[in-house]
């Protein structure tokens, strides 16, 4: 049935919405696709719903091609399974919790791992039942601290989440690959360029984890890639660990006065003024032919405070080369599920042995950092601080530092940790050369969950030997509404949206202009013919609206192909527009129809 | 793509679920359509989701035919608009409320009238924009006190709710008719017999209100209908009001001793033993040729306690003929939005002038019921208690009654109220004859909301004279998951479900039996051909499952047409089953395919 603009529920807006921070939000509201209902919560108008349905249809087809079956869980779910998995607490303020009239705890599910696991546990019992892949397309909820950027970071959003179930690791690898392949097909059909990057494995401790990122300078995620094909998000980047250096020939630690040097910059300046030039045996990792002290020769000790899930607070120190910073995302992932923040004055007061600005793992009186040291504070080192590297660092005494302090000889950490920032030029861990930094938007995530949920919730099956084994799972997510926003973000110009044909709300936008009945008759029959040939037509049949307004609306709404019946209508001539290229061509109606239905 | 049972996510169960109270719940769980997740909250398995999608597709098509456009509101909605309309409080414990991390109030929407109204207010401003009909298919939430009967009364359920917007009453009538017609088409396509009954207008005070009921003896709703075409649910039934009777010739009230007659039955027995036989002038409404006293001659005064929205409690008395009871549903609707319960001992203690068992509107000392009476208690009368009717009723004194107490002369109410039970034989209000009582299940509701929400939330448009007028709305609901359950309730036998073709999860269920490869090859090619011709095929290709198990599963799952490839496969013979009639026929494959695709 032809959709007539004279009746259709659509009002385009001349003004940008006041709260729109990003292009997609601005255009989707102005062109009548969505309306804001509450912070991060939107209502969908007919145009928006049609685009969303087309994206969902592509996902459904490719899920079916990957052998996955659709199910649907409630959005309102009982809290118990999420308490068993620990996520009810772990999400903190990030989820919506509520109680029913009897006082039973519920939540609005942010994801449904627990319920998928329990459903399969309910129905399946043997390796013969597996592999299984099931998915849902579902409205999900997260109580974001700062909902922003329209649909890109909302509190209610639509996701496709799929899960695979296998009884052994080989099975999981195959299931993972099938979903990964489906994701490639989905993004190809959506016309969405993507990079597959290694991602952090998260809390669940599975094996493979990859994100599909759309590379764009305005992306909110940073990732690294090498010319040789390595790609990872910064959280997952693994530092190449240098070889240890023999202790032979290394000098002894030397404490020196360093007045007014509480920062790395002031310390380096002081060293260049007062110390001998760096030489093997007294300097940090990057010294071989250094002619001056640099921040890379120093060991920066950063004091952090962790809040563990049980609420306890722990002060820890991380030691990283002074030419790098602690990366917020890497530190968040490295310490998860604990929350991390910089140590506060109160933390320092509780640890009076730490001399601010001059903290180091060693002092004249012995070890100062580490669980076995005088402070008892856990001390974690950057992987570059291998045995035999020599550093300038604080001497734990006011205005004093030490040089030629050798890792593995004079001090040691309680372990290593990947929290230092990644820089262009760092070596890719797979030996494929130096990396560059790039930005992208996350559009999908495939992830080997492993046995965390199956173990916690007791999902086991009999293996071929009749032995009970814990099922291993994969998790595969695509943000449907997020992808819609990204497509809008990528496909627009100064006049409005320009949808890819695969997801456009209509296939053809037919416009009748002028007061001539012939134009309306021609447009009417063109619309009917296009619909009859299976295309979805929006027909602008509004009788008393100027051509300028109609054209502006067509450009704003962004249907990729526009057919205009106007002046030439009496001679059977129409204009065919390509919204993307801007090409306009006058031709006989029959030819226009033939091209549109080709 | 053919769906293969060897991989499909389906497990049928041999046992009925322990908590299933109704057939639909029992069979939908056993046949693998749904699983219970929490009380009144269900997860949808692939089969269930497919049936639901087919019902939704029919609804979407008929909504489009009715000129309605689809939108989608969030399930999680801000409380403010619902506070403005009063529904946030009026729902009491019946909705799920929650707060976000900033403490803002939200609810899970039971329906979205407020948001529909505000959306149209946001975008529309002129009578030229109207009429408009928009709808959504949405998961809704009600915190039912007693979720029960599986999907029939759940706490999370899917509804199609449509709303129409017009600037005048004629427009509303046309919009209402278009939706009403669409509902008829929807139920016809679903194969669901229906009766359209007049329904109560509810709190919003609109004009027309009709329910679509499926007539069935196991329905939870009672309705009345006359041979002449009248139909209404009991809440909406309007009593035919008799003509008043002149007071001339009526005797005076006579108080008489009536020991041990606290009930209507004991009172009637006493009257027949001690009073003269009823005669015009001393008896109730049904007296003309009565030879004995009956309950119909008495006036029963029932004491109720109302709790108003503001929390205040009010004791009221309703006076109804003694041969009728107060009907729970009629009383609930008549006093809404106040909550009603029988008066408690505490209520009687607070009103010591009421003599329990002997309550009446009049005593020797004067008026005892009514706002102007000694008690000050509001007194509402059944419409049959017209002026000039004479009654036996309590004399407000222990063990005393009065007869020949004449309405309009000796006592009066503060108004009339429709709370008395409806009986078979009562006259239809439209003069179409006596009514009979029947039972049904509600499957849809069309309803002229009128201007309540538009008024409350300020939805006005300019009329043709440039004057601002308040928009008038219609509300049109269908419970999608409820209809699915009702279809399951109506379409089954002792072996399992029997879906109507219009909503079956698959069009054909192909079964390969035995160990003969020929059977599997034939079934395989039959499945492929049926899919190629546009049918949706479930193919039972499980290799080591007995024919008995396969047949039992096919019967339980309830696809209407089953094609079996077994013994005759080598000769190209298959069996074609009609699941509904049980007919089975052996025929060549080509002929079977021709019939299935006809």
Contact list, B7 vs chain A (CB under 8 Å): 67
pLDDT computed for residue A283 by the predictor? 64
B248 vs B245, B290, B387, CA distance in Å? 9, 20, 12
| Sequence ranges of chain B with CATH classification 3.30.930.10 | 52-77+109-237+436-488
Contacts of B428 (CB under 8 A, 6+ apart): B224, B226, B228, B230, B240, B434, B435
Q: Given A38, A41, A76, which is nearest B41 (Cβ)?
A: A76
Residue from B430, B369, B360 nearest B398 by CA: B360
Angle at A507 between CA A501 and CA A510, to 5 degrees: 135
Between the CA of residue B516 and those of B286, B520, B545, what are the distances in Å? 79, 7, 13
CB contact under 8 A, A156 and B7: no
> What is the per-residue pLDDT for B106?
93
Q: Indicate yes or no: CB of A124 within 8 angstroms of CB of B64.
A: no
CA distances from A82 to A14, A88, A112, A457 (A): 46, 5, 9, 10
Look at A67 and B38 and tell me if their CB atoms are within 8 Å. Answer: no
- Interchain pair A73, B132: CB under 8 A: no
* Contacts (Cβ under 8 Å, ≥6 apart) of A94: A110, A142, A143, A144, A145
What is the number of residues in chain B? 598
B512-522 burial string, b = 16+ CB within 10 Å, else e? bbeeeebbbeb
pLDDT tens by residue, B545-565:
999 999 999 999 999 999 999
User: B244 pLDDT band (50/70/90 cuts)?
Assistant: very high
For residues B301-329, give the mean pLDDT: 93
* Contacts with A35 from chain B: Cβ below 8 Å: 119, 122
The continuous run of DSSP H or E covering B106 comes out as: strand B105-108
Q: Of B232, B226, B221, whose CA–CA distance to B436 is shortest?
A: B226
Chain B residues within an 8 Å CB radius of A97: 98
Cβ-nearest to A132 among B9, B37, B123: B9
A7 contact residues in B (CB cutoff 8 A):
67
Count of residues making up chain A: 598
Q: CATH number of B506-597: 3.40.50.620, 3.40.50.800, 3.30.460.20, 3.40.190.10? A: 3.40.50.800
Domain with CATH 3.90.960.10 in chain B: 254-416
CB-count exposure of residue A413 (10 Å: 0-12, 13-18, 19+): buried
Instruction: Yes or no: say if A107 and A82 are a contact pair by the CB < 8 Å rule.
Output: yes
Q: Which residues of B195-219 are buried (b: 16+ CB within 10 A; e: fewer)?
A: bbbbbbbbebebebbbbbbbbbeeb
Compare CB distances from A141 to B70, B76, B93 and report the shortest one's residue. Answer: B76
Q: What is the rounded radius of gyration, in angstroms, for the C-alpha atoms of chain B?
A: 30
Q: Kindly identify which residue of chain A lies nearest to residue B52, measuring between CA atoms.
A: A72
Contact B193, B438 (CB under 8 A): no
| A125-134, A216-225, B396-405, B434-443, range with the lowest pLDDT | A216-225
The whole-angstrom separation of Cα B89 and Cα B108 is 14
8 Å CB contact of A64 and B1: yes
pLDDT score for B514: 86
How far, in whole angstroms, is CA A447 from its chain's centroid?
A: 13
Collapsed DSSP state (helix, strand, coil) of residue A478: strand
- In this complex, the residue of A42, A78, A98 whose CB is nearest that of residue B96 is A98
Q: Does residue B150 register a pLDDT over 80?
A: yes
Query: CA-CA-CA-CA torsion for B545, B551, B554, B557, nearest 10 degrees?
Result: -90
Using CA atoms, how far residue A418 sits from A240, A280, A329, A409, in Å, is: 11, 26, 11, 22
| Chain B closest-CA separation from residue A449 CA (Å) | 20
Q: B-chain residues within 8 Å CB-CB of A43?
A: 71-74, 115, 119
Quote the distance between the C-alpha of residue A189 and its chain's center: 21
Residue with tokens 């601080």, as numbered in its chain? A385
B52-77+109-237+436-488: CATH topology is BirA Bifunctional Protein; domain 2 (3.30.930)
The alpha carbon of residue B30 is apart from the nearest alpha carbon of chain A, in Å, by: 11
- Facing A43 at nearest CB: one of B11, B74, B155: B74
Assign domain B254-416 to its CATH architecture.
Alpha-Beta Complex (3.90)
pTM: 0.88
Whether omega before B131 lies within 30 degrees of 0, making that bond cis, reads: yes
Give CATH 3.40.50.800 domain extents, chain B. 506-597
- Looking at residue B288, its pLDDT comes to 56
- Give chain A's end-to-end CA distance (angstroms, integer): 20
Q: What is the pLDDT of residue A149?
A: 80
CB A49 to CB B67 under 8 A? no
Residue B217: pLDDT above 90?
no
DSSP B333-363: HHHTTSEEEEPPHHHHHH-TT--TT---SEE
Between the CA atoms of B133, B136, B137 and B138, what dihedral angle is there, to the nearest 10 degrees?
-150
- Give the residue from chain A lying closest to B118, CA to CA: A37
Rounded-to-integer distance, Cα A427 and Cα B328, Å: 78
Interface mutation target, options A47, A53, A55, A71, chain B, most CBs of B under 10 Å:
A71
Tens-digit pLDDT string for chain A (598 aa): 899 999 999 999 988 888 888 899 999 999 999 999 999 999 999 999 999 999 999 999 999 999 999 999 999 999 999 999 888 888 888 899 999 999 999 999 998 999 999 999 999 999 999 999 999 999 999 988 888 888 888 899 999 999 999 999 999 999 999 999 999 999 999 999 999 999 886 655 557 899 999 998 878 889 999 999 899 989 889 999 999 988 888 888 999 999 999 899 999 999 999 888 777 666 655 555 678 899 999 999 999 999 987 889 999 999 999 999 999 989 998 998 788 999 999 999 999 999 998 999 999 899 999 999 999 999 999 999 999 999 999 999 999 999 999 999 999 999 999 999 999 999 999 999 999 999 999 999 999 999 989 999 999 999 999 999 999 999 999 999 999 999 999 999 999 999 999 999 999 999 999 888 999 999 999 999 999 999 999 999 999 899 999 999 999 999 999 999 998 999 999 999 999 999 999 999 999 999 999 8
Angstrom distance (rounded) from CA B403 to CA B363:
11
Closest to B546 measured CA to CA, from B526, B563, B566, B530: B566
CA B77 to chain A, closest CA, distance in angstroms equals: 7
B43 interaction partners in chain A (CB closer than 8 Å): 71-74, 115, 119
Residue of chain A whose alpha carbon sits nearest to that of B98: A98
User: What is the rounded distance in angstroms from the CA atom of residue B224 to the CA atom of residue B246?
Assistant: 32
CA distance A95 to B523: 49
Superfamily designation of domain A45-71+110-237+436-488: Bira Bifunctional Protein; Domain 2 (3.30.930.10)
- Looking up tokens 């499909």, which residue turns up? B8
Q: What is the pLDDT of residue A91?
A: 85
Check residue A384 and give its pLDDT: 94
Which of A13, A37, A79 should one mutate to test binding to chain B, selecting the residue with the greatest count of B CBs within 10 A? A37
When CB atoms are compared, the residue of B44, B75, B115 closest to A72 is B44
């Amino acid at each position: 049935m032809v959709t007539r603009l004279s009746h259709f529920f659509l009002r385009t807006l001349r003004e940008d919405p006041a709260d729109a921070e990003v292009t997609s939000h601005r255009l989707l509201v102005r062109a009548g696709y969505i309306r804001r209902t509450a912070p991060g919560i939107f209502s969908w108008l007919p145009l928006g719903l049609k685009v969303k349905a087309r994206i969902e249809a592509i996902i459904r087809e490719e899920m079916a091609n990957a052998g996955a079956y659709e199910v649907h869980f409630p959005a309102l779910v009982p809290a118990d399974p999420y308490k068993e998995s620990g996520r009810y607490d772990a999400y903190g303020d990030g989820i919506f919790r509520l109680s029913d009239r009897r006082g039973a705890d519920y939540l609005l599910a942010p994801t449904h791992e627990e319920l998928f696991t329990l459903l399969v546990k309910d129905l399946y019992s043997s390796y013969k039942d597996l592999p299984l892949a099931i998915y849902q397309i579902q409205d999900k909820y997260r109580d974001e601290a700062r909902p922003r950027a329209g649909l890109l970071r909302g509190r209610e959003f639509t996701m496709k989440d799929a899960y695979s179930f296998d009884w052994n690791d080989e099975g999981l690898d195959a299931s993972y690959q099938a979903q990964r392949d489906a994701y490639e097909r989905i993004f190809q059909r959506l016309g969405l360029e993507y990079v597959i990057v290694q991602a952090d494995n998260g809390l669940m401790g599975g094996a493979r984890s990859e994100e599909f990122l759309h590379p764009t300078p305005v992306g909110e995620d940073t990732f690294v890639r090498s010319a040789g094909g390595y790609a990872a998000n910064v959280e997952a980047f693994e530092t190449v660990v240098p070889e240890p250096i023999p202790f032979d020939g290394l000098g002894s630690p030397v404490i020196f006065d360093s007045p007014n040097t509480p920062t790395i910059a002031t310390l380096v300046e002081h060293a260049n003024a007062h110390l001998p030039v760096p030489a093997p045996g007294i300097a940090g990792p990057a010294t071989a032919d250094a002619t001056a002290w640099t921040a890379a020769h120093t060991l920066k000790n950063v004091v952090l405070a962790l809040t563990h899930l049980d609420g306890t607070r722990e002060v820890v120190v991380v030691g990283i080369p002074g030419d790098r910073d602690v990366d917020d995302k890497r530190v968040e992932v490295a310490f998860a599920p604990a929350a991390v923040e910089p140590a506060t004055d109160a933390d320092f007061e509780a640890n009076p042995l730490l001399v601010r600005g001059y903290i180091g793992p060693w002092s004249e009186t012995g070890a100062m950092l580490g669980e076995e040291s005088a402070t008892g504070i856990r001390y974690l080192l950057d992987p570059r601080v291998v045995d035999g590297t020599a550093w300038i660092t604080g001497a734990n005494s006011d205005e004093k530092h030490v040089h030629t302090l050798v890792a593995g000889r004079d001090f040691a950490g309680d372990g290593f940790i990947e929290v230092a920032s990644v820089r262009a030029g760092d070596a890719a861990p797979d030996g494929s050369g130096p990396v560059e930094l790039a930005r992208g938007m996350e559009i999908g995530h495939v992830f080997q969950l492993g046995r965390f949920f199956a173990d916690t919730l007791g999902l086991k099956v009999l293996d071929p030997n009749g032995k009970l084994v814990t099922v291993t799972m994969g998790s595969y997510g695509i943000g449907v509404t997020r992808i819609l926003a990204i497509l809008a973000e990528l496909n627009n110009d100064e006049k409005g949206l320009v949808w890819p044909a695969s997801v456009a709300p209509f296939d053809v936008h037919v416009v009748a202009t002028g007061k001539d009945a012939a134009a309306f008759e021609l447009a009417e029959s063109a619309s009917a013919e296009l619909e009859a040939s299976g295309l979805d037509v929006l027909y602008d049949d509004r009788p008393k609206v100027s051509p300028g307004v109609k054209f502006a609306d067509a450009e704003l709404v962004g249907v990729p192909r526009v057919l205009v019946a106007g002046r030439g209508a009496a001679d059977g001539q129409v204009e065919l527009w390509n919204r993307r290229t801007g090409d306009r061509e006058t031709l006989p109606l029959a030819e226009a129809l033939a091209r549109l239905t080709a």
